[in-house]
Structure formats: C-alpha cells, structure tokens
Structure 1
Amino acid sequence: MTDVPGSLAQRIFLLAHDPEKGRPRIGTNLGAMVRAAALADLYLQGHLTDERGRAVAVTGRSCADPVLATLLGDIAAARPRKWQTWVDRRQHATAVAVRRQLGEDGWARLEPYRVLGIFPATRVTPRDPRVRKALLGRVRAALKDPIDRVDPADAALVAITAAGGLGLVLDRAARRGAKRRIQELTDISGPIGPALRKSIEASAAMASG
C-alpha cells in the first residue's frame, strides 16, 4: 500500500493540484479547503472540541505538526469562535505553510517560476504520482465501504472535497449522485464540512456583491 502524508491538510493540498498543470485549477478554493483540513486534523486528533458551534482548544495536549500547532495556539489564545471564523482566517498563509511542508517532507518538488514572466508562483510536482492515486482511492473507498468501516480522516477527506467543490476529485454529478453518503461522511467528520461550505458561500457573496 502506498504511503500518504499524515496530515489531512497535506492530503487536500495534493488532491487540489492538477497533476498536469502543477497547480490548482482556476477557481479552486485551495486556501479554504486546506484551512478546513487543518481544523479537521485538530478536531479528529482530540486537540479541539465543539462547544455550541464553536471551536475550543483542549488543554494539556501537545501537537507535533508545526502548521497544526500554530493554528491550535491561535485558537487556544482566543475566546471561543465559530468554526467558520477559523476557516476564514489566514487561508493563504496556511496553504503556503502546508506547501512548504510537502517539500520539506519529500512528498513534492517545489519549483519557483513566474506567471507571464512577472508574478511569482510555485509549481508543485508530487515525487510519486501513486500518492495522489492512493488518496483518490481513499475517497472512492469512503463512498462505497460500509459506513462503520470508514476511517474518520477519510470521511473528512470526502466532506472537505465535497464542500469545497473540488471537481478534480468529485465533480458535480458525482456529488449529486452521492449526496446522502456525503452527508453521512460529513456527520462522522464533525463540524468542519458545514463551516467550510458557509465560508465559501460567504466569500462568493462578497465577491458578487
């Protein structure tokens, strides 16, 4: 079995990147999804709990992942806030930090380049294409396996890609056809999927208004 990154944030980052282009497709909600995945990691690992729709840090537990530890520290230092608030914040910074992790941990090659010869960007190339295929396999299995056999992290993977509208993984027809199952997986993975959906809808409303 092919190894995959340990964190949901890194898994979402790799799934969001078009392997042919080395970057997300235009319109991909990368920052929001990566941020939601980091929150899901912390929730599923027991570092965060949900209290009346708000994220609350669990005291006395250390977190080894530096990206997750930074987010956990921010939440612990603040008064309880809605999950959507934490999805909304520092999306770009979190995505950049996760991208750096993928390079440092050997999962991907990071190649700086300039769009139109002007704007700096980074091309992300997985070192082993089987990793992305393995992640897609986890998504397919979560949609088909008996619900009580689905790993909560894989349930969160589906919930986040569905709420984020990640067509590279689940196109609109697939999301519509698996609507009930996606809801079941969203329920397993906690409050993150609905918070991500609200964040994206709010951003779209602001952009159109």
Structure 2
Amino acid sequence: MTVPGSLPQRIFLLAYSPEKGRVRMGTNLGAMLRAAALADLYLGGHLTDERGRPAVGVRHPCHDPVLEALLEEIAGARPRRWHSWVGRRQRPAVSAVRRQLGDGGWVRLEPRRILGLFPTTKVTIRDPRVRKELLGRVNAALKTPVGRVEAADAALVAIVAAGDLRLVLDRKTLRANKRRIQELTELSGPAGPALRKSIRDAAASSAGG
C-alpha cells in the first residue's frame, strides 16, 4: 500500500473523519500541517536547529511545492523560533495540502456552499485503505522498539499527540503511551514540541481576548 510521500499530506488524511466525511471542526489542522512540514524539512536535512530556531543549511531540492514554499519563507525572513513558524500561514497551508492531495489523486475535491452562501470544499478519500495504512503506522510506532521506528512515523505520532488529534490517539491511548510518545517526539526533532507550544500560546491569546 503506497501513501503520500510528505508528512503534511499524511497528517491531513489522518485528520479526516470517515464517519463525518470531513475534517472535524476545532481540529488543529493548520498548526499540525505547518509542524509536519517543518518536521519533513528537518528530517530531510533541509533545516537545522540553531539555538532553538530553524536555519536553512545547504540547499538541495525538496521536490515538493508545499515544503519548498516553507523553506523559501524561512530563508527569506529573520530567525524565529520553531513554534513561531507553526503559528504562521495556517489557512494557506490547509488549502495547499488539500489541493496537493487532490492533484495527486488521493482525494476528490468538490466545491460546495454552506447555506448557499459560504464557500467550502468537500473532501473524500478515494481509497480508504490509505488512511488505514497510516493509522497502522501510528499504532506500530507505539509498539515497535524505538530503534526500529522510521523517523517519519515517529513524527506522525509526535504531531498527532501534540495536536491532540483524538480521532487517531484518544485520551486513554495517550496516557498509556506517554513515555513512548516522548521518545518518539525526541526522535523526530523540534516540530512536536513547537506544535504543542504554538497551540498553547494561541489558546492563551484567545482566552485573554
């Protein structure tokens, strides 16, 4: 079973609810996609960590327009901490990854209007087995010895856990695997902790009015 190559595309599919036929409201999807893109760039050697900030190293092709756009964004801006990059341009990230999945044939996109007024896009996964494969990778990463877990699968777990995506990891599973999730988060780099801080900061800002 083949799955999309990039972490943002994989996270998008995991966030999709087959029962609801959509990504549920209230999901930290934009933040998770930005964190997934950062994780991809870090694990691929496109970014390094310099004193808690992503830095562009030796440039080599990403072969992915979403990742390339974020790399250009970081390269052209002043240094910021990882969580700051998670918090930026989340809505464009959702649109770009959704379009990428549509262009790749992983999902079917149907423009709609809510109440005949507000434009939206219905997303349908073309092959449900793809999402099941990704769920299997998450579950396997929680059980396989850490040294045998691929870094990309470790990042999936770290981002799903930090993003509180209960559709994939419910509260009971999170509690039972707290130590393992921490190990996988450390294996996958700075993106998981950055995502957690970005979500926490956004919640605090919203609560403060």
TM more than 0.5: yes
Matched pairs, number: 208
Q: Distance in 1 between matches of 2:183 and 2:31?
A: 22
Aligned match of 1:87: 86
Q: Distance in 1 between matches of 2:129 and 2:37?
A: 23
Note if 1:128 corresponds to 2:121.
no
Aligned match of 1:164: 163
Aligned match of 1:100: 99
Q: Distance in 1 between matches of 2:72 and 2:107?
A: 27
- Which deviations, in whole Å up to 9, do the C-alpha atoms of 1:169-207 show, x marking residues without a partner? 001111111100000000000000010000001111111
Read off the aligned partner of 1:148 and give its amino acid letter: G
Q: Distance in 2 between matches of 1:62 and 1:129?
A: 31
Alignment root-mean-square deviation, CA: 0.9
Question: What is the SS of the residue equivalent to 2:25?
Answer: coil
Aligned match of 2:40: 41
Q: Distance in 1 between matches of 2:68 and 2:136?
A: 29
Percent identical pairs in the alignment equals: 69
Q: Report deviation, 1:24.
A: 1.5
Q: Distance in 2 between matches of 1:150 and 1:125?
A: 30
Q: Distance in 2 between matches of 1:36 and 1:15?
A: 14
- Which deviations, in whole Å up to 9, do the C-alpha atoms of 1:132-160 show, x marking residues without a partner? 00000000000000110000000000000
* Contact 2:46–2:59 under 8 Å retained in 1: no
Structure 1 stretches of at least 4 aligned residues deviating more than 4 Å after TM superposition? none
Read off the aligned partner of 1:153 and give its amino acid letter: A
Q: Distance in 1 between matches of 2:67 and 2:94?
A: 12
Note if 1:4 corresponds to 2:10.
no
Unaligned runs of at least 5 residues, structure 2: none
Q: Distance in 2 between matches of 1:89 and 1:58?
A: 21
The equivalences for 1:12-91 within 5 A come to 12-91=11-90
Unaligned runs of at least 5 residues, structure 1: none
